[in-house]
Amino acid sequence: MDAAWIFKTLVQSNIDVHQFLMMMSLKKLIRLASVGLALCGGAAAASNEIDESEFKSEDIIERDLCVLGGGASGVYGAIRAKDLGHSVVVVEKNDYLGGHTETLYLDDGSPIDYGVNGVFNDALSRDFFDRLDVGYESLPPDFKTDYVDFGTGKKADAPAGILGTVTGALLYRAAIEKYSTLHDGFYKLPDPVPEELLEPFGKFVEKHGLQGALQVVFMFAHQTGNILDVPLLYVIQAFGVAPVDALVKGGYIAPKTGMAKLYESASKALDDDVLLQSTAVKVSRTDSNATVVVKNSSDGSKKLIKAKKLLITFPPLLRNLEGFDLNEEETSLFQKWRSKSYYVAVLNNTGLPDVDNIANVDTSNNPGNLPTMPFQWQLRAAEVSGYWTTKLVAEANFTQEEANDHITKDIRRMGTAGTYHTDWSPNIVLSGSHNPAALSVSTDDIRDGFYADLYGLQGKRSTYFTGVTFCSDFSSVVWKYTKGVIDDMFSENK
Tell me: the pLDDT tens digits for 130-140? Answer: 999 999 999 98
The mean per-residue pLDDT over the stretch 304-329 comes to: 98
User: Residue 424 — pLDDT band, cuts 50, 70, 90?
Assistant: confident
3-state secondary structure 245-273: HHHHHHCEEEECCCCHHHHHHHHHHHHHH
At 13, the pLDDT band (50, 70, 90 cuts) reads: very low
β-strand partners of 296: 278
Residue 354 has a pLDDT of 84
Asked, for residue 37, whether it belongs to a domain, the answer is: no
pLDDT band at 33 (very low <50, low <70, confident <90, very high): very low
User: Of 416, 435, 454, which closes a domain?
Assistant: 435
Give the whole-angstrom CA distance, residue 263 versus residue 270: 10
Number of neighbouring beta carbons within 10 Å of residue 259: 25
Backbone angles phi, psi at 197, to 5 degrees: -65, -20
Compute, in degrees rounded to 10, the torsion defined by CA atoms 259, 263, 265, 269.
Answer: 160
Q: Are 292 and 91 in contact (CB under 8 A)?
A: yes
pLDDT greater than 70 at residue 254: yes
Judge if 152 and 245 occupy the same domain: yes
Answer whether residue 12 shows pLDDT above 70. no
> Domain for residue 404, yes or no?
yes
Does residue 6 carry a pLDDT above 60?
A: no
Residue 494 has what pLDDT? 59
Q: 219-251 pLDDT, tens per residue? A: 999 999 999 999 999 999 999 999 999 999 989
DSSP element (H, E) containing 235 = helix 232-238
How confident is the model over 282-305, as pLDDT tens digits? 999 999 999 999 999 999 999 999
Q: How confident is the model at residue 141 (pLDDT cuts 50, 70, 90)?
A: confident
Apex 213 CA angle, 207 and 219, nearest 5 = 125
Residue 8 in this model has a pLDDT that exceeds 50: no
**According to the model, what pLDDT value does residue 18 have?**
44
pLDDT of 34: 44
First-residue to last-residue Cα distance in the chain: 21
Residues 462 and 431 in one domain: no
Q: Are residues 241 and 368 in the same domain?
A: yes
- Do 372 and 362 contact (CB within 8 A), yes or no? yes
**Is 187 a member of any domain?**
yes
Mean pLDDT of 420-449: 93
* Between 178 and 2, residue with greater pLDDT: 178
- Parallel/antiparallel/unpaired status of strands 60-68 and 88-91: parallel
**44: three-class secondary structure by DSSP:** coil
Residue 235 belongs to a domain with what CATH number? 3.90.660
- Same domain (yes/no): 402, 373: yes
pLDDT of 115 above 60: yes
21 belongs to a structural domain: no
Cβ(306)–Cβ(65) under 8 Å? no
pLDDT in tens, 206-222: 999 999 999 999 999 99
Chain mean position to CA 362: 27
Alpha carbons 111 and 103: distance in angstroms, whole number? 6
> Could you tell me where the DSSP H helices lie in 284-334?
328-334
- Whether residues 307 and 452 share a domain: the answer is yes
161: left (phi over 0), alpha (psi -120 to 50) or beta: left
Cα separation, 214 vs 368, whole angstroms: 6
pLDDT, the chain, mean: 91
pLDDT value of position 25: 45
In this structure, of 38-47, 73-82, 305-314, 441-450, the range with the lowest mean pLDDT score is 38-47
The pLDDT of residue 27 is 45
Round to whole Å and give the CA distance between 240 and 221: 9
The answer to whether residue 84 sits within a structural domain is yes
Domain-embedded: residue 80: yes
> Is the model's pLDDT at 318 over the cut of 50?
yes
Residue 422's pLDDT is what?
Answer: 67
Look at residue 127 in the predicted model and tell me its pLDDT: 98
Domain boundary among 388, 415, 435: 435
CA dist list (Å): 273 to 88, 189, 267, 283, 307: 6, 36, 9, 19, 13
Q: Is there a domain that residue 24 lies in?
A: no
- 159 and 67 fall within a common domain: no
Dist. CA 44–CA 406, nearest whole Å: 46
Closest CA to 452 of 220, 188, 152: 188
- Check whether 20 has a pLDDT greater than 90: no
Q: Are residues 79 and 203 in the same domain?
A: no
Could you tell me if residue 228 is inside a domain?
Answer: yes
Q: Which helix (H) or strand (E) holds 455?
A: helix 450-455
CB atoms under 10 Å from CB of 2, counted, come to 17
Contact of 337 with 315, CB cutoff 8 Å: yes
Residue 410 has pLDDT above 90, yes or no: yes
Best CA proximity match to 333, nearest among 31, 19, 10, 30: 31
pLDDT at residue number 28:
46
Q: Among residues 459, 492, 463, 465, which one has the least CA distance to residue 481?
A: 465
| Angstrom distance (rounded) from CA 330 to CA 334 | 6
What band does 45 get if pLDDT is binned at 50, 70 and 90? low
Give the residue from 27, 45, 38 showing the smallest Cα distance to 3. Answer: 38
- Residue 423 CB neighbour total at 10 angstroms: 9
pLDDT of residue 492: 67
- The pLDDT > 70 percentage for the chain reads 89
Same domain assignment for residues 212 and 296: no
pLDDT digits (tens, 9 = 90+) for 353-380: 989 999 999 999 999 999 999 999 999 9
Q: List the domain range (segments joined by +) for residue 274.
A: 55-101+256-337+440-490
Are 431 and 448 in a shared domain?
no
| Same domain, yes or no: 224 and 366 | yes
Whole-angstrom distance, CA of residue 122 vs CA of residue 221 = 21
Last residue of a domain, one of 390, 417, 435: 435
Q: Report the CATH number that the domain containing residue 289 is assigned in CATH.
A: 3.50.50.60
445 and 325 part of one domain: yes
How many structural domains compose the chain?
Answer: 2
- Residue 28 has phi, psi (to 5 degrees) of -65, -40
Residues 140 and 219 occupy one common structural domain? yes
